[in-house]
Amino acid sequence: MNNNVVVVERVSKRFGQEQVLCDVSLTLEQGKIHGVIGRNGSGKTVLMKCICGFLRPSSGSVRVFSRTIGKDCDFAPDTGALIEQPGFLPHETGLNNLLWLARLGKGATKKTVCEVIAQVGLDPALKKSVSKYSLGMRQRLGIAQALLDDPKLLILDEPMNGLDKNGVRDMRKLLLSLKEQGKTILLASHFAQDIDELCDTVCEMDQGVLTQVKQQGGAME
């Protein structure tokens, strides 16, 4: 059986004259946490958007669950994503925000919405509006949003961004529990320390060029 959830093959992406991804190849195995580290502006978000189907590569191909994005489907199937800041309604509760997004999406039920909120460690009954949430709570709600349709692949762009030590520790626990449920996770961070212990594989993006720095069991350089 093929264990590869994502296969990125020789993807390049340019915006006008600017080459943002250069011949990137990457394979993500099922049930693992895969990290991409790299400085701000190195191309991590663009790569994630190409995998989701939000951007089309200039050349090369992306397959997710054996389907070629842009050919077999427009967007990655069975995939939940948190890319940049999700646009929550600030004066509504977390529950109302996700109920609204569920209606716009595949129609997850209220029961499912409450379950995903609880799963990320938030209280579905919390009356606070999202504008009063801490950054960590907002990131959790973002992950709950990505989990709404019970995806098998999760693409999380800098979920640790701006979190304090405890927030990062809690986020790590949450991601490990999602991995235990069999989900495949792709995670970007500009802080190698944030994701080092957590990830089974780590790649580094440098000016659009991707290199593997850690494989399962191996140490980071």
Quick one: which segment of 40-48, 66-74, 129-137, 143-151 binds ligand ADP (CB under 6 A)?
A: 40-48
Tokens of 178: 């999602």
User: Is residue 191 within the footprint of ligand ADP (CB under 6 A)?
Assistant: no
Shortest reach from residue 33's CB to ligand ADP, in Å: 18
Q: Which segments of 66-148 does DSSP mark as H helices, in order?
A: 94-104, 110-119, 135-147
User: Is residue 80 within the footprint of ligand ADP (CB under 6 A)?
Assistant: no
Taking the C-alpha atoms of residue 147 and residue 137, their distance in angstroms, rounded to an integer, is 15
Taking the C-alpha atoms of residue 16 and residue 8, their distance in angstroms, rounded to an integer, is 22
> DSSP character for 220?
P
Angle, helix 135-147 to helix 165-180, in steps of 10 degrees: 10
Among 34, 44, 179, 214, binds ligand ADP (CB under 6 A): 44
Shortest reach from residue 190's CB to ligand ADP, in Å: 7
Rg of the Cα atoms in the chain: 17
User: Is residue 40 within the footprint of ligand ADP (CB under 6 A)?
Assistant: yes
Shortest reach from residue 75's CB to Mg ion, in Å: 19
Residues 85 and 145: beta-carbon distance below 8 Å: no
Site string for ligand ADP, 9-38 (x = CB under 6 A): ------x----x-----------------x
Residues 62 and 95: beta-carbon distance below 8 Å: no
Shortest reach from residue 156's CB to Mg ion, in Å: 11
User: Is residue 162 within the footprint of ligand ADP (CB under 6 A)?
Assistant: no
> Which phi and psi angles does 168 have, rounded to 5°?
-65, -40
Among 41, 90, 162, 218, binds ligand ADP (CB under 6 A): 41
User: Is residue 145 within the footprint of Mg ion (CB under 5 A)?
Assistant: no
User: Is residue 189 within the footprint of ligand ADP (CB under 6 A)?
Assistant: no
> DSSP character for 22?
E
Tokens of 144: 């709950």
User: Is residue 45 within the footprint of Mg ion (CB under 5 A)?
Assistant: yes
Q: Which is nearer to ligand ADP, 41 or 162 (CB)?
A: 41
Q: Which is nearer to ligand ADP, 130 or 154 (CB)?
A: 154
3-state secondary structure of 111: helix
Interface residue list for ligand ADP (CB under 6 A): 15, 20, 38, 40-46
